[in-house]
Amino acid sequence: MKDTKYIFVTGGVTSSLGKGIIAASLGKLLQARGFRVTNQKLDPYINIDPGTLNPYEHGECYVTVDGHEADLDLGHYERFLNAPTHRANNITTGRIYQNVINKERRGDYLGKTVQIIPHITDEIKRNIKQLGSKGEYEFVITELGGTVGDIESLPYIEAVRQLKWELGNKCLIIHLTYVPYLAAAKELKTKPTQHSVKALQEQGVQADILVLRTEHNISMDIRKKVALFCNVEQSAVMQSIDVPTIYRVPMNMQLEKLDEVVLSKMGFDLAKTPDADMGKWISFVEKLENAKDEIRIGLVGKYTQLPDAYKSIIESLIHASAYNDHKLKLELILSDKITDENVAKKLGGLAGIIVAPGFGERGMEGKFSALRYARENNMPCLGICMGMQTMSIEFARNVLGYADANSTEIDDTTTHNIVDIMDEQKDVLNLGGSMRLGAYKCKLKKHSKAHEIYGKDHISERHRHRFEFNNEYKEEFEKAGMICSGMNDESNLVEIIELKSHKWFIGVQFHPEYSSTVVNPHPLFISFIQAAIQK
């Protein structure tokens, strides 16, 4: 069995340079050459996971198939590699310290003084190598959150230094930096990159490859200068220039020969290594970039001031629009600002709407107004998680006549709780206490729109919620035309609702956006966009 190779992507100068996209792009290129690859994210915050973070703080909370609440970069990894991630693919400082403290309390360290080195760094190394220990992957590409010089990142950089020493050419360091353009001087400036590389060197780590983020093409003379001052071969200094879509980055990095340089530095004979087969990827990017017609979709939610809060939904809409030969024109609509009086003005020019997930009462009434407008005007509408729950409450209020219909999350004194807290005694709730997390099976009702969309009887989708549809109202809903077309047999959970008399009006308790990838866009989003395109 071949030894697993470990690649680390670090960042300097500034945050938000796109380490995750570079890591995912390299993973895609190596995968396209036939290698088995996975991506991992190390997050330096002390939260155990991002599940308790406000989306405005850290963007969306992504959920893996095994029920781990993870950083949104794992969504990029899955969308690029078309392969599921798991708990081991996302490690936080909080989890590292929690593991070490638990070991200390159990006496695993035999009375030793527990310190950053070696105990914290050993735990970091153990978590990094866990993905490669079973021989499933030939490459583990690990992205280090934050920037070099952050106090939170020091233990991770030290762990990387040790791994580089221990593994030799089975370990490679890619450093991503920013090369700013000073308009007054009309020059690209490399000094920030030099300082960033120097800061990395001061922590004992020498970058093998430099990727320079830039808005302007970087000349060979500048690359030569960077190589000289940063102790990196000139062929290993490459640019990552701004692009209209992140999905062009793997193709650009292939032109920069990122995969070739990585393989060469890690001892591979390029003459014996297959070329990257990027045919399907290139086809998608061409459809995305060459689409002439636009499709206007509204995303109604409570966190729309930060698009990253709905990152996976937005990317899923991009995938589905491109595959339907349309460019997505997305309008982010704050549900707090929607009322019965202004809803026609806010939604009138749209081809369809998504009602987004989100915990808590804020923005609920605006979602009800939006859903009623979509329902009464035959506008294609997809409700996701709480979007499905608000869909059911709006139906109960305005069709069934329950004016006080609500959710126990909002008001547990209401007579008609259409959405109720889950029974915490159910055996299926073994992940996250009262939170349903991860992939669960769903049986689809034959002859329903959901069955037609998926084309099969059983599906598996990822969940993240505490409340669910109250089955006491199921029969009444179906008599009024809102059928429950997807059910979890094990827990009797309503997974999908759809309005029979409507063009396209579907609510799902799960998060289909987590499963949409470039190669396999999600069928629900494909169908939703198709319905929105049809006049």
pLDDT at 363 over 80: no
| Average of per-residue pLDDT across 476-494 | 92
Element (H, E) at 493: strand 493-499
* Alpha carbons 444 and 524: distance in angstroms, whole number: 13
8 Å CB contact between 153 and 41 = no
* Alpha carbon of residue 242 to chain centroid: 21
Here the tokens at position 424 are 């915490």
Q: Tell me the pTM.
A: 0.91
pLDDT of residue 423: 58
What are the two backbone dihedrals, phi and then psi, of residue 494, each rounded to the nearest 5 degrees? -75, 120
Residue 143 burial by CB count (10 A; 0-12/13-18/19+): exposed, middle or buried? buried
pLDDT at 431 over 70: no
pLDDT at 424 over 70: no
Here the tokens at position 89 are 């693919």
Cβ neighbours of 189 (radius 10 Å): 14
pLDDT per position as a tens digit, 283-318? 999 999 999 999 999 999 999 888 899 999 999 999
Here the tokens at position 471 are 């089955």
HEC secondary structure over 417-430:
EEEEECCCCCCCCC
Q: Considering the chain, what percentage of its residues have pLDDT values greater than 90? A: 81
pLDDT band per the 50, 70, 90 thresholds, residue 15: confident
pLDDT at 429 over 50: no
β-strand partners of 329: 296
Coil, strand or helix at 261 = helix
pLDDT of residue 41: 96
* Alpha carbons 476 and 387: distance in angstroms, whole number: 20
* Alpha carbons 59 and 225: distance in angstroms, whole number: 37
Q: Considering the chain, what percentage of its residues have pLDDT values greater than 70? A: 95
Instruction: Sheet with 406-407: list strands edge to edge.
Output: 406-407, 417-421, 467-469
Here the tokens at position 466 are 């505490």
β-strand partners of 209: 174
pLDDT of residue 422: 62
What is the chain's Cα-based Rg? 25
Query: Among residues 339, 10, 387, which one has the least CA distance to residue 193?
Result: 10
Coil, strand or helix at 503 = coil
pLDDT band per the 50, 70, 90 thresholds, residue 56: confident
pLDDT of residue 413: 61
Contacts of 179 (CB under 8 A, 6+ apart): 188, 189, 190, 192, 193, 212, 213, 214, 218, 222, 239
pLDDT per position as a tens digit, 108-126? 999 899 999 999 999 999 9
Contacts of 137 (CB under 8 A, 6+ apart): 4, 36, 37, 38, 131
Query: Which positions are catalytic?
Result: 385, 511, 513
pLDDT at 166 over 90: yes
| Average of per-residue pLDDT across 426-441 | 64
pLDDT at 1 over 70: no
pLDDT of residue 462: 96
pLDDT band per the 50, 70, 90 thresholds, residue 425: very low
Contacts of 352 (CB under 8 A, 6+ apart): 295, 297, 298, 374, 379, 380, 381, 382, 504, 528, 529, 531, 532
pLDDT of residue 153: 92
pLDDT of residue 8: 98
Contacts of 345 (CB under 8 A, 6+ apart): none
Average pLDDT of the residues of the chain: 92
Query: Among residues 237, 508, 137, which one has the least CA distance to residue 354?
Result: 508
pLDDT per position as a tens digit, 74-113? 999 999 999 999 999 999 999 999 999 999 999 999 989 9
| Average of per-residue pLDDT across 330-355 | 95
Q: What ranges in 297-401 are assigned the alpha helix state H?
A: 311-323, 343-347, 364-376, 386-398
* The dihedral sign for the CA sequence 120, 25, 60, 304: positive
**Lowest-pLDDT range, 55-64, 210-219, 442-451?**
55-64
pLDDT at 352 over 60: yes
pLDDT per position as a tens digit, 310-338? 999 999 999 999 999 999 999 999 999 99
pLDDT of residue 135: 85
Distances 50 to 198, 286, 516 between C-alpha atoms, Å = 31, 35, 21
* Alpha carbon of residue 108 to chain centroid: 36
* Alpha carbons 216 and 241: distance in angstroms, whole number: 7
pLDDT of residue 430: 38
pLDDT of residue 432: 39
* Alpha carbons 60 and 381: distance in angstroms, whole number: 21
| Average of per-residue pLDDT across 341-363 | 91
Report the largest interatomic distance among the alpha carbons of the chain, rounded to a whole angstrom. Answer: 75
| Average of per-residue pLDDT across 447-452 | 96
* The dihedral sign for the CA sequence 183, 189, 195, 201: positive
* Alpha carbons 160 and 140: distance in angstroms, whole number: 13
* Alpha carbons 145 and 135: distance in angstroms, whole number: 25
pLDDT per position as a tens digit, 371-417? 999 999 999 999 999 999 999 999 999 999 988 878 766 656 666 77
| Average of per-residue pLDDT across 492-505 | 94
| Average of per-residue pLDDT across 1-30 | 91
pLDDT of residue 412: 61
